[in-house]
Structure 1
């Protein structure tokens, strides 16, 4: 099953690193991205 979700941040930031690959199974509490300052 494919799902798409919006991800929001409480501050302005840039995505520094993706921690998962397309198609990976993820847990509900798993970190997906690493954010950094602009």
Structure 2
């Protein structure tokens, strides 16, 4: 139960890397969209 409620360092690292990756993809998508519109 404790392992489920409290995030392990591994899961937090994965979550952090996923957020960083999604942020990078979002910025790339925004740049591509702006370039397409302009």
The TM-score, its normalising length taken from structure 1, stands at 0.16
Q: Answer 1 or 2: which has greater helix percent.
A: 2
Q: Answer 1 or 2: which has greater strand percent.
A: 1
Tell me which structure has the larger Cα radius of gyration: 2
